[in-house]
Structure 1
Amino acid sequence: MLRFIILSALVLICQVATAETVQVKYHGIVSLDAFACEDVKESGDVSRICYDKAERYMVIRLKTAYYHYCEIDAATVQGLQRASSKRQFFEVRIRGSGGDGPFDCRTRPIPKKYRQ
């Protein structure tokens, strides 16, 4: 029994130790534990899309930097994932002109668990 408890504790410690975090521009460190992430295998600026459906929160890697978007619905994220030009979809439907699109975390609340 003691061996099982020790083994379980070690597994838990290893899982915590390997939690992935990313530096989100203009925000800080975000743990990706609750996100479903997809690496993008096409040429272009969008190279990774991570989405926390429960919090309606997306983190996206453009070139080498991560950015975040708040109160973004699952249908919009699915549209981005399926788009033939992810950069064009992102620019028109998510980022918007001037960078103040409908999911901008400067005008929408960041989920509590991701606030710094």
Structure 2
Amino acid sequence: MVRTIALLLSQLLTAPIVSETVDITGRGEVDLASFECRDINRSTVLQRVCYDREQHDLIVAIDGAYDRYCGVPARTVDGLMGAPSMGQFFNQNIRRQISGDRYDCPVPRRT
């Protein structure tokens, strides 16, 4: 039993760390290494919320598609996570209606 646990721990410690990336609709891939992600099971709108507190970037999954919102204050994300209706809070306080609206992210340059 101890040998099995030791073997599993050694495999875990020597396994390569691979960060997750997600494809943002129309904007390419984003590495989630700096994001704290939470799967959401109490909302009919949001399935996953990822937030980078240092960069103030929010990534949300809605209907299996990811979208990114830039410049979102931590207090707004905290409000989202604690809201009785996450979907309603998101739609009223975060979701963009048109390109260039609040929390829009710059389009990445193509090289």
User: What is aligned with 1:94?
Assistant: 94
Q: Identical aligned pairs, as a percentage? A: 35
Q: Distance in 1 between matches of 2:23 and 2:96?
A: 22
SS at match of 1:29: strand
**8 Å Cα contact 1:60-1:67 kept in structure 2:** yes
User: What is aligned with 1:32?
Assistant: 32
Deviation at 1:100, TM superposition (A): 5.6
TM (norm. structure 2) is 0.76
Could you list the runs of 5+ residues in structure 1 that have no partner in the other structure? 1-6
Could you list the runs of 5+ residues in structure 2 that have no partner in the other structure? 1-9
TM (norm. structure 1) is 0.73
> 2:29 is matched by which residue type in structure 1?
I
Pair member with larger Rg: 2
User: What is aligned with 1:46?
Assistant: 46
RMSD: 2.2
Deviation per CA, 1:13-67: give whole Å up to 9, x if none.
701xx21110011211001000011111114020110000111111100110000
| 1:80 corresponds to 2:80 | yes
What is the total number of aligned residue pairs between the two structures?
A: 98
| 1:14 corresponds to 2:12 | no
